[in-house]
Amino acid sequence: MSRADLVVVANRLPVDRVEGPDGEPAWRRSPGGLVTALEQVMQSLDGAWVGWGGQPDLQVEPFEFDGNLLVPVSLTRADLRDYYEGFSNGTIWPLYHDVIAAPEFKRSWWDAYVRVNRRFAEAAAEHVADGGFVWVQDYQLQLVPQMVRELRPDVTIGYFHHIPFPAYALFAQLPWRRQVLDGLLGADVVGFQRVADAGNFQRSIRRLLKYPTKGDTITVPTVEDESRVVVAKSYPISIDASQFIELAQRPDIIERAKALREQVGSEKLMLGVDRLDYTKGIRHRLKAYGELLADGRIKGHEATLVQIASPSRPGVEAYQDLRDEIEMTVARINGDYSTVENTAIRYLHQGYPREEMVALYLAADVMLVTALRDGMNLVAKEYVAVRGDNTGVLVLSEFAGAADELGSALLVNPHDIEGMKDIMMRAVEMPEAEQARRMKTMRRKVLDNDVEKWGRSFLDDIDEVRRRRNAS
């Protein structure tokens, strides 16, 4: 079997298993952001992709898809319960998002995480070419870099962390904190969203492992009494801005945006688009909005909040509780403040095609991104990208990574409900000239720093590592 120069390792494959026209199972490209992000790199580099196929117990041999080799990793129901819903989404996700929900530390989950990480690492090691590059994605696979290094010392390894890396005092709670750091340090380049995340990672390394750090580098001792330099720095991820702009210019999507606007009816349309996740601050947003209605600062016909909450992790208890809580709040607010003509909150627990998302972005006067903690938040960047006429207001949490680049948004602290209410009013009332000034600055940022640039800057640093290695 041929081996690939680049092997991406991610929890999920970039395809979904669907039923083909003849009733046979087939694969269809999934619309996720990471897929678009890595598409160009994959095509140019003869890439392979290692990941789970999306169904438990699926045993499928590696296969070609769109010119790339896809390598399915099989996960049993127990693996999914303990490695995915358990350790990844019940331990690491809440711990790394500043314990907004309480992380659970279970030894059986950890054992599954180690076991499954090894399976991914073995698949990557088997399919990467001599001297090739393995690029590991995200918190479900933090041990893979070190495991690949042990199996294939000849390859260069990168890791990108899509979610925040927490402050030392929180990270230190993790019973397996050293193993996780050792796992990540198997990479040559460890990438984070924000400068602050890279800083937190380096601090944990100094405190727990006592390895020296300088600038973006960490010096890791090796068994041969030598040392290895690991780069740890920020590479803020982005979107395929040109794709969003193209969609925003399509006549059918513009028409759809107009129709949505008319159907909603009220003077201002405020929009929230999030996975239904406790990190996204949906409850805080609803509370602020409900109080604005209660205080009479917003009246029924003046505004409508459209909240898309796409279904997420239904197998994790905290997500079931969150859904109940949000749906009860929406029902209460609508019961109290909707009229026969106006609905205060239009809540949609559904996923939508990208075209519909763009139509919603175009229809929205105000976009609310009020995450309590978020690695980056691509929704904020997508909204900015489609606002070609420089209208619209972005309300953005200072706890989302995007706030580092989008300082011209109306920044909010979502924990401060009074403050958030004032900012929401400011957004609704903002004059067009101010909207344009802010939006222009933000659009320049997003358009100049698209996902292609993100990929290129990571790969440039990988090339640099390779050059150094070849020279020594």
What residues line the site for ligand GDG (CB under 6 A)? 31, 33, 162-163, 237, 273, 275, 308, 310, 351-354, 357, 374-379, 382
Question: Rounded to the nearest whole angstrom, what is the least distance from the CB of residue 384 to ligand GDG in the complex?
Answer: 13
Length of the chain: 472
Question: Rounded to the nearest whole angstrom, what is the least distance from the CB of residue 219 to ligand GDG in the complex?
Answer: 28
Residue 166 and residue 96 in contact, taking contact as beta carbons nearer than 8 Å: yes
CA quadruple 59, 64, 65, 69: dihedral sign: positive
Question: Rounded to the nearest whole angstrom, what is the least distance from the CB of residue 206 to ligand GDG in the complex?
Answer: 26
Name which of 356 and 422 has its Cβ closer to ligand GDG: 356
- Cα separation, 234 vs 305, in Å, equals 34
Question: Rounded to the nearest whole angstrom, what is the least distance from the CB of residue 275 to ligand GDG in the complex?
Answer: 5
Name which of 155 and 308 has its Cβ closer to ligand GDG: 308
Structure tokens at 363: 């229809």
Dihedrals phi, psi of 85, to nearest 5 degrees: -70, -35
Residue 374 is given by DSSP the state B
Name which of 128 and 379 has its Cβ closer to ligand GDG: 379
Dihedrals phi, psi of 168, to nearest 5 degrees: -55, -45
Question: Rounded to the nearest whole angstrom, what is the least distance from the CB of residue 434 to ligand GDG in the complex?
Answer: 25
Residue 28 and residue 35 in contact, taking contact as beta carbons nearer than 8 Å: no
3-state secondary structure of 262: helix
CA distances in angstroms from 248 to 20, 256, 435, listed in the order given: 30, 11, 19
Name which of 293 and 394 has its Cβ closer to ligand GDG: 394
Please name the helix (run of DSSP H) or strand (run of DSSP E) that holds residue 68, with its range, or none: strand 68-73
Question: Rounded to the nearest whole angstrom, what is the least distance from the CB of residue 432 to ligand GDG in the complex?
Answer: 26
Biggest alpha carbon–alpha carbon distance for the chain: 76
Name which of 1 and 18 has its Cβ closer to ligand GDG: 18
Question: Rounded to the nearest whole angstrom, what is the least distance from the CB of residue 33 to ligand GDG in the complex?
Answer: 4
Name which of 162 and 443 has its Cβ closer to ligand GDG: 162
Name the amino acid, one letter, at 92: I
Name which of 139 and 337 has its Cβ closer to ligand GDG: 139
Cα Rg for the chain, rounded, in angstroms? 23
Name the amino acid, one letter, at 99: V
Name which of 81 and 275 has its Cβ closer to ligand GDG: 275
Structure tokens at 224: 């041969």
Question: Rounded to the nearest whole angstrom, what is the least distance from the CB of residue 354 to ligand GDG in the complex?
Answer: 4
